[in-house]
Amino acid sequence: MANVIAGSGKGMKRWLTDVLSARRENFKLRREMGRKSRQLEEQHREIRRLQYIIIKSGMSCDVKK
């Protein structure tokens, strides 16, 4: 019986270590996902800005003709 209790303590410690490790990994992944999301939003803003410039320059060419 004593071996079972001692063994379960090691199992619990291992389980807790695995849970904490998974939480750290989850935190890293969520932080990375947030960074990628912000990069994507920034790229979309840049695309819209460039589209606006292209459209605006096209309109100015039409006016000159």
- Give the integer Cα–Cα distance in Å for 54 and 2: 77
Of the pLDDT bands very low, low, confident and very high (cuts 50, 70, 90), residue 7 is low
- Mean pLDDT over 15-22 rounds to 91
* 19, part of any domain: yes
Whether 48 is covered by a domain: the verdict is yes
**Residue indicated by tokens 């989850």:** 26
Per the domain annotation, does 4 fall within a domain?
no
Summarize pLDDT for 29-62 with one digit per residue, the tens.
999 999 999 999 999 999 999 999 999 988 777 6
In the chain, how many domains are there? 1
> Which residue is listed with tokens 């990994």?
25
Examine residue 2 and state whether it is found in any structural domain, yes or no. no
21 located within any domain: yes
Looking at residue 4, its pLDDT comes to 47
| pLDDT tops 90 at residue 3 | no
Residue range(s) defining the domain that contains residue 58: 10-64
pTM exceeding 0.75: no
